[in-house]
C-alpha cells in the first residue's frame, strides 16, 4: 500500500492541510520531502489568496458597512474602494493574510502529528476518533498562535487609506489604543468554528485517502 499511498499523496496533497503520512519512514521524514510540500502548499495558498483578495476585502466591507438603510452593492463596493484608496486598496490586508499561511500550516502539521503520537496507545494504529481529536487540537493550536494576524488583517481591510502604514504599524496602534485583548477579539467564536472544522477536515482527508489507496491495492 505504501507506494500507492505516496503516489496518490504526491498528486493531490496541496493546500494548507498537509500531513505527514503514517507509513513514511523516519529517514523519509528527515529527508525534507514533507517540508518541500509545505513550501509548495504555502506558495499555492499565497498565490490563491492574492488572486482572490479583492473579493475577500469586499466581503468584509459589506459585512461591516452595510446596513438596512445603506447597503453596499457588489459593483458599487469595488467602485467605492477604488475611489477611496486607489486600485491597490483592493489588496489591503492581503499581506497579513499571506504572511500567516506558512506558520499556520507548519504549526498545524507539527501539532497534528504530535497529538496523534500522544493519543496512540503503545504505538498502535490510531482510529477515526483519535484523528478527529488530533485534528481539532491541531487546529486550535495553530489558530491560537496566529489569531492576532487575523485581527490585524481585518483591521487593515476595513481601515481608511493612510490609517495604517502596514502590518507592524497596525499592530502597534491597536496595542497602544486598545491593549493586548483587542488582538484576540472574536477568539472564542472563531475557536468554536475551527475546532470541529479542523477535526473533520483532517480526519475525512486521511481516512478517505487510506480507504482509496486500500481499494487501489486490491484492484
* CATH number (domain holding residue 31): 1.50.40.10
pTM above 0.75?
no
Say what the pLDDT of residue 16 is. 43
Boundaries of domain holding 67: 2-218
Do you know the residue count of the chain? 219
**pLDDT tens for each residue of 81-108:** 899 889 998 999 888 888 888 788 888 8
Cβ neighbours around 129 below 10 Å, total: 11
Greater confidence (210 vs 182) lies with 182
Number of domains making up the chain: 1
Q: What average pLDDT does this structure show over 13-40? A: 55
| 8 A C-beta contact, residue 97 and residue 53 | yes
**pLDDT tens for each residue of 111-135:** 888 898 888 876 667 888 889 999 9
CB under 8 Å to 98, separation ≥6 — which residues? 45, 46, 49, 50
**How would you class 184 by CB atoms within 10 Å of its CB: exposed for 0-12, middle for 13-18, buried for 19 or more?**
middle
With CA atoms as reference, report the closest residue to 113 among 96, 133, 134.
134
Instruction: Give the lowest-confidence range in 5-9, 37-41, 180-184.
Output: 5-9
| 8 A C-beta contact, residue 149 and residue 168 | no
Q: Which one of 8-17, 86-95, 174-183 scores highest in mean pLDDT?
A: 174-183
Q: What average pLDDT does this structure show over 153-178? A: 91
Say what the pLDDT of residue 97 is. 83
**How would you class 137 by CB atoms within 10 Å of its CB: exposed for 0-12, middle for 13-18, buried for 19 or more?**
buried
Amino acid at each position: 500500500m505504501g507506494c500507492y499511498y505516496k503516489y496518490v499523496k504526491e498528486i493531490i496533497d496541496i493546500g494548507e492541510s498537509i500531513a505527514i503520512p503514517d507509513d513514511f519512514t523516519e529517514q523519509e521524514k528527515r529527508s525534507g520531502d514533507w517540508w518541500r510540500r509545505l513550501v509548495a502548499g504555502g506558495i499555492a495558498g499565497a498565490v490563491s489568496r492574492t488572486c482572490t483578495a479583492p473579493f475577500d476585502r469586499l466581503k468584509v466591507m459589506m459585512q461591516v458597512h452595510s446596513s438596512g438603510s445603506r447597503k453596499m452593492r457588489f459593483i458599487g463596493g469595488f467602485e467605492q474602494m477604488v475611489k477611496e484608496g486607489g486600485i491597490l486598496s483592493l489588496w489591503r490586508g492581503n499581506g497579513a493574510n499571506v504572511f500567516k499561511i506558512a506558520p499556520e500550516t507548519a504549526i498545524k502539521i507539527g501539532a497534528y502529528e504530535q497529538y496523534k503520537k500522544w493519543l496512540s496507545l503503545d504505538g498502535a494504529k490510531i482510529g477515526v476518533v483519535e484523528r478527529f481529536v488530533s485534528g481539532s487540537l491541531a487546529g486550535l493550536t495553530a489558530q491560537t498562535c496566529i489569531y492576532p494576524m487575523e485581527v490585524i488583517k481585518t483591521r487593515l481591510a476595513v481601515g481608511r487609506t493612510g490609517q495604517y502604514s502596514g502590518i507592524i504599524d497596525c499592530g502597534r496602534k491597536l496595542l497602544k489604543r486598545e491593549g493586548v485583548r483587542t488582538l484576540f477579539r472574536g477568539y472564542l467564536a472563531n475557536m468554536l468554528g475551527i475546532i470541529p472544522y479542523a477535526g473533520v477536515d483532517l480526519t475525512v482527508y486521511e481516512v478517505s485517502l487510506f480507504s482509496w489507496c486500500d481499494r487501489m491495492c486490491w484492484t
